[in-house]
Structure 1
Amino acid sequence: MSDQQQQQPNEQQLNEQQKIDDQKFFENIDAYIALANAHETSNRGAPQLVGASLIFAAARYNTFLVARANGEPDAFNAKKEEAKAYFMDQFSKMLDDNWADYNQNFEQYRIQK
């Protein structure tokens, strides 16, 4: 077996990595929601600020990721519309999924805090 074949992950390794990534993904989400809940407590009377802040932070951080991946201003600027379409599509899908989930569990989720 060549060195290249030994270095390439097999399907089982990829599946295990996907499980680890999925777990980290949802742990991150839980941490962001816990932080948002804490901020909501300190922003009584203006909870909409928390949601707006999360959206702004996501936009800022994802812009940073695109800039980091495209080290030159011209390359960065050339990616704007592609990145914007991707992030808008992802947000729309995530919003639809969460809306459907909330709709199915409305009474249960509404009383949680």
Structure 2
Amino acid sequence: MSQENAQNNEIDASLEITPEMQAFYQRADAIIGVANSQLGPDAHSGQVGASLLYSAARYSASVASIGFVKGDDFAKEKDDIVEFYTKQYRQMLSDNLTDYAQNFDKYIQLNQDDKPTK
């Protein structure tokens, strides 16, 4: 184990998962479950991923509109809204890519375990 991995494990061990964080991850896992259920002969992971990104964008637009009374006022905030969501997505994607790279062998094994046997 590298020193960096040891430090990450110490940080992870000291990180308290609050009930709010647990609920956040449970919702995310449920959405991933729905996405995975769409995989099959008619839809590969790239197609499902594209649909998932589109649905996240649609849902985010709806959430961002809450509190506005006029469409014109909402439209004026478009650039700030896009910047906010882009920044959030970039950080989450970066964190998950780092996690996947650090746990690549484990995740690849999990993916292979999910494949049906012939």
Pairs within 5 Å for 1:71-82: 71-82=69-80
Distance 1:31 1:42 in 2: 22
Other-structure match for 1:111: 109
Distance 2:65 2:41 in 1: 33
How many corresponding residue pairs? 95
Distance 2:91 2:41 in 1: 30
What TM-score comes out, normalization by structure 1 length?
0.77
Q: CA RMSD for the aligned pairs?
A: 1.6
CA apart distance, 1:42: 5.5
Q: Which has the higher contact order (CA 8 A, sep 6+)?
A: 2
Flag as ranges the 4+ runs of structure 1 deviating above 6 A.
none
1:28 counterpart letter in structure 2: R
What TM-score comes out, normalization by structure 2 length?
0.74
2:33 counterpart letter in structure 1: A
Q: Which runs of 5+ in 1 are unaligned?
A: 1-17
Other-structure match for 2:52: 54
Taking a change above 3 Å as real, the CA distance of residues 108 and 59 of structure 1, as seen in their structure-2 partners, is same
CA deviation vs aligned residue, 1:21-63 (integer Å, no higher than 9, x gap): 212111111101111111113645x321110011000100010
